[in-house]
Amino acid sequence: MSTKKINRSVIAKITGMLLTIEGFFIFLSLPFSIYYTKPDLSTINLFDPSKDFWALLISGAITIIIGAILLASFKKTSNTLTKKEGYIIVTLSWIAISIFGALPFYLSGNTLTYTDAFFETISGFTTTGSSIFNNVEIIPKGLLFWRSLTHWIGGMGIIVLSLAILPIFGIGGMSLFVAEVPGPTPDKLHPRIAATAKRLWGIYVLLTFVETILLMFGGMDFFDSICHSFGTMATGGFSTQNASVANYSPYIQYVIIVFMILAGTNFTLHYLALHGNVKSIFKNEEYKTYLFIIFGFTLIITLVLILQQNIYYEKAFRDALFQVVSIVTTTGFVSANYLIWPSSLLILMFILMFIGGCAGSTGGGVKVVRHLLIIKNSFLELKRLIHPNAIIPVRLNGASVSKSVIHNILAFLIFYIIIFVIGIIIMSIIGLDYETAIGSVTACLGNIGPGIGGVGPIENYSAIPSAGKWVLSFLMLLGRLELFTVLILLSPSFWKK
């Protein structure tokens, strides 16, 4: 780690810029508030839960003002970012946008405490989708739009969005890109990070637009279509309906399934497909494994539902496919209550919660590529024992994988298990029953949303004690930033000069 003194001025500048961007995003919710709730703009009535206009307006203004103050505090110093500063900026900015992003919920009076508002917001930004709202259908549309928008911003990453802007300020962003983008080795689509960020966001916007149109074609109104598209492409899972996607038509469910699969796919593959290189997609080992897991588990679950619960063939297949894709991609939308399925299927669903989407996707979790490389390395270890002098590298897509990447993955998995166990112990001490403790930790650390026990697919997190919500909020952040970006800041050696 660099021994260079931390450049606090640059950290303040970038954090301020991100808060300013967030403030303008909050303002995007105002048209929906005006159209649906028609507030009396002559009187400021902050704490009327049915009128969210003033809460959104004031929250956006506060966020922009604080961001502007931080930007103004910037002094002309070196704009070169070290890895250390990259880790600090990414973690600090995600915490900051969650703190200020919670203001609309809190000021509107739609959450009883700031803890609930923060939990809902960081759940949105980290694309977890764990909610504290018992009745989401009574929430004003402006707030619902902001709630869904937090998904969309966090899905591709506010840092990645900012990287398209940072060159204007003369700041290099490679250290930020590495610290935020999911996966053991982030892919660059262009030698310049800003160009890569623009391409990623361009694909993201395009897919969101296409899904919105297809959902509207199936009978969804514009508001529900765009909110569900935000939740799908971000693999977030916030819905505008209490029943999530369960009450929508089979057509809409299939559209969402397709786009959940696309969202859980490495966006580099989308870029290649859009440029005519479709063959490379189906040669990609991670992608083939990803599809094999989805359709393999779907087949097993479909057969069990048909044989043991006498469910109609198409519905059994649709429910199985939807829930498998939703859990694997860590989206968290619900079309069926999998807790009432046979216990054998519940075990399979629980296993799926530890897989995750592809690296370079908006999906959370461990990631398919990490599982794939560990399995490959384990089998190769048997060969190495038989042939101790042979040099047998792990290969992915025909290329040799360095030992440092394998060691990084092993460390990631060990930390993931340790944090998982510690999280369960803490949640049990706080007062949760064993099943709910496991379900909440699994769902939040994996950025999944629904879990098992008291936080299952038809439940929410409102009954979790306040202390538990802060613990789970930390786990969401850990999961979204893939452990190391946050954990490294807790290491005493990180702060030594």
Give CA–CA dist 84/325, Å, rounded.
36
3-state secondary structure of 152: helix
Q: What is the pLDDT of residue 179?
A: 47
Give CA–CA dist 295/304, Å, rounded.
14
**DSSP class of 395:** E
| pLDDT value at 311 more than 60 | yes
The residue-averaged pLDDT of 156-174 equals: 55
Query: In 10 A of CB 390, how many CB atoms?
Result: 9
Sign of the torsion angle spanned by Cα atoms 78, 80, 86, 89: positive
Q: Which residue did the predictor score with more confidence, 237 or 40?
A: 237
Distance of CA 30 to the CA centre of its chain: 24
Q: What is the pLDDT of residue 417?
A: 96
> Widest CA span of the chain, in angstroms?
81
Give CA–CA dist 256/264, Å, rounded.
12
Q: Which residue did the predictor score with more confidence, 221 or 80?
A: 221
Q: Percent of the chain beyond pLDDT 90? A: 58
Task: Report whether 143 contacts 108 (CB < 8 A).
Answer: yes
Burial of 445 (0-12, 13-18, 19+ CB in 10 A): buried
Q: What is the pLDDT of residue 190?
A: 44
Q: In the Cβ-directed half-sphere of 115, how many Cα atoms lie within 13 Å? A: 13
Q: Percent of the chain beyond pLDDT 70? A: 88
How sure is the predictor about 168, in pLDDT bands with cuts at 50, 70 and 90? very low
How sure is the predictor about 95, in pLDDT bands with cuts at 50, 70 and 90? very high
Q: Which of 51-60, 426-435, 478-487 has the highest mean pLDDT?
A: 426-435
* Token code pair at residue 349: 């669903």
Measured CA angle at 244 (ends 243, 250), to 5 deg: 100
Q: Tell me which residue of 438, 439, 434 sits closest to 460, measured CA to CA.
A: 439
Using the CB atoms, write b or e for 71-89: b if 16+ within 10 Å: beebeeeeeebbebbbbbb
Q: Tell me which residue of 435, 452, 451 sits closest to 443, measured CA to CA.
A: 451
Length of the chain, please? 497
323-359: pLDDT as tens digits: 999 999 999 999 999 999 999 999 999 999 999 999 8
How sure is the predictor about 75, in pLDDT bands with cuts at 50, 70 and 90? low
Give CA–CA dist 327/50, Å, rounded.
33
Q: What is the pLDDT of residue 80?
A: 65
How sure is the predictor about 272, in pLDDT bands with cuts at 50, 70 and 90? confident
Task: Report whether 366 contacts 351 (CB < 8 A).
Answer: no
The residue-averaged pLDDT of 22-42 equals: 86
**399-401 vs 394-396, strand pairing mode:** antiparallel
Measured CA angle at 252 (ends 249, 480), to 5 deg: 130
Q: What is the pLDDT of residue 2?
A: 45
Q: Which residue did the predictor score with more confidence, 383 or 240?
A: 240
Q: Residues 6 or more apart from 210 whose CB is under 8 A from it? A: none
Q: State the DSSP string of 305-331.
A: HHHHH---HHHHHHHHHHHHHHHHTT-
Q: Which residue did the predictor score with more confidence, 161 or 142?
A: 142
Give CA–CA dist 346/129, Å, rounded.
20
How sure is the predictor about 78, in pLDDT bands with cuts at 50, 70 and 90? low
Q: What is the pLDDT of residue 180?
A: 44
112-154: pLDDT as tens digits: 799 999 999 999 999 999 999 999 999 999 999 999 999 999 8
Q: Tell me which residue of 149, 220, 94, 210 sits closest to 474, measured CA to CA.
A: 94
Lowest mean pLDDT among 81-95, 213-227, 279-293: 81-95
Q: In the Cβ-directed half-sphere of 219, how many Cα atoms lie within 13 Å? A: 7
Give CA–CA dist 127/477, Å, rounded.
10
Using the CB atoms, write b or e for 96-134: b if 16+ within 10 Å: bbbbbbbbbbbbbbbbeeebbbbbbbbbbbbbbbbbbbe
How sure is the predictor about 274, in pLDDT bands with cuts at 50, 70 and 90? confident
The ranges assigned to domains in the chain are 404-495
| pLDDT value at 10 more than 70 | yes
Q: What is the pLDDT of residue 228?
A: 97
Q: Tell me which residue of 271, 268, 211, 202 sits closest to 235, measured CA to CA.
A: 211
